[in-house]
Every structure is written in structure tokens, then in C-alpha cells.
Amino acid sequence: MPSANPKTTILLIDDNENDRTYYATQLQHCSPDCVVLEAKNGQAGLDLCKSQKIDCIVAEYNLPDMNPLQLLFEVNPIEDVPAIALVILARYAVPAIANLVMRYGVNAFLIKRLTSGEDLTNVIQRAMAKVKPSKHHLLEA
């Protein structure tokens, strides 16, 4: 029997296994009711988006196989009403890049060394409040 209150599913995409494990653990600690899925690159993340209901993607800025805008356009092809919240984590502050991706629909651009699990959880909640609630996955594509 389906739950009346489905769990939030967060997809964490990062090729750095240590960072991915750290943030996955932090998210589970700060939001024990959420489901955290992990992918080591953009394509693996997109594959998960096609088979799972994803509410928010947290992705490393410098993925080996695609940049954040490619990921954004794949998961949210209609930019005025995004279907999945997208948060970018980066090793370094790059204001010009952060401003660019935010203009195209990324919900937040965070610096890893300055972002705690609690910070990330709060940003994810705010980002998810901005997306269209009725369509959270790419299964229709």
C-alpha cells in the first residue's frame, strides 16, 4: 500500500567518493526520513532520474562527463517551471559561473568547505519549495 506521505528522494552526484559519502551521511543524519541515492557521474545520475522519483539533485560542479547546465537542461527542459530542484556543490567559489547557472535555474551554488549537512538540508528544502510539485521525475520522457 503506497504511503500517503512519500519520502523525499535526494540524488547526490559527485565523482569524489569521499565527498559523496560525507554529504550522503550528513543528509541522512539531518533528514532521516529522506532517501539519498548516489551517482558517481552525470550520466549515472540521469539514468537514476529516469527510473526513480527524484525531488532534488545535489551535484558537484565539476563532473567528469558533463557540466551543471547540461545536467540542468536534461532534468528541467522547461526552465520556467522546474520539475526537480538542483543544487550545485563546488570546491571553489566562482562567482561568474555561480551567477550564470543560477540565471538558468540552478537553485543554489554552494562551496563544499563552507557547507555543513544542516546547511545543505536547509538549502534543499528551500529549493524544493520552488519546483512544480506534480512532476518529479523523467519517467514520462
pTM of the full structure? 0.85
20 located within any domain: yes
The C-alpha atoms of residue 65 and residue 41 are separated, in whole angstroms, by 7
User: For residue 6, what pLDDT is reported?
Assistant: 67
Residue that the C-alpha cell 550520466 belongs to: 43
Domain of 45 in residue numbering reads as: 9-128
108 located within any domain: yes
The CATH number of the domain where 90 resides is what?
Answer: 3.40.50.2300
The C-alpha atoms of residue 139 and residue 113 are separated, in whole angstroms, by 34
User: For residue 135, what pLDDT is reported?
Assistant: 44
User: For residue 72, what pLDDT is reported?
Assistant: 81
- Tell me how crowded residue 104 is: count the other CB atoms within 10 A of its CB: 13
Among candidate residues 53, 97, 105, the one with its CA nearest the CA of residue 76? 105
User: For residue 96, what pLDDT is reported?
Assistant: 87
Predicted confidence pLDDT, tens digits, the chain (141 residues): 344 456 899 999 999 999 999 999 999 999 898 999 999 999 999 999 989 989 999 999 999 999 878 888 888 766 555 678 999 999 988 888 888 888 888 899 999 999 999 999 999 999 998 886 644 444 343
> Do 124 and 26 meet the contact criterion of CB atoms below 8 Å apart?
no
The C-alpha atoms of residue 21 and residue 115 are separated, in whole angstroms, by 14
Three cell numbers at 33? 526520513
User: For residue 97, what pLDDT is reported?
Assistant: 85
